[in-house]
């Protein structure tokens, strides 16, 4: 999945161009979600690769845990992290929000 797939390039006269923001869907709770306590060296992209076989889906873990800092792939040490069960509906919702 391309990180910029849903971002339009916007060019306004006499201003630098920029990309639009991506809107992310809510990640519903499920009884099948996993929970882990983060350890030193854990990263959201590596956890996504481990649980989903796709490191680009790190944002699913990030948005499922709204208390996480949004400016880092490193979750706080000792944080109980919810790893949502992967559902293709999440990707459809992402596409629908950004089309």
Task: Kindly report, residue by residue over 41-97, the tens digit of the pLDDT.
Answer: 999 999 999 999 999 999 999 999 999 988 899 999 999 999 999 989 999 999 899
Residue pair 98/6 in contact (Cβ under 8 Å)? The answer is yes
Angle at 32 between CA 29 and CA 35, to 5 degrees: 80
Looking at domain 9-97, its CATH class is alpha beta
Residue 78 to residue 45: CA distance in whole angstroms: 17
**Whole-prediction pTM:** 0.83
Interval 30-37 mean pLDDT: 96
Domains of the chain: which residue ranges? 9-97
């Amino acid at each position: 999945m391309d990180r910029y797939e849903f971002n339009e390039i916007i060019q306004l006269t006499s201003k630098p161009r920029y990309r639009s923001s991506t809107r992310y869907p809510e990640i519903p709770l499920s009884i099948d979600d996993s929970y882990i306590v983060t350890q030193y060296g854990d990263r959201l992209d590596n956890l996504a690769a481990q649980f989903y076989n796709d490191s680009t889906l790190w944002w699913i873990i990030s948005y499922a845990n709204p208390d996480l800092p949004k400016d880092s792939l490193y979750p706080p040490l000792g944080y109980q992290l919810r790893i949502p069960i992967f559902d293709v509906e999440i990707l459809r919702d992402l596409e629908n929000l950004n089309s």
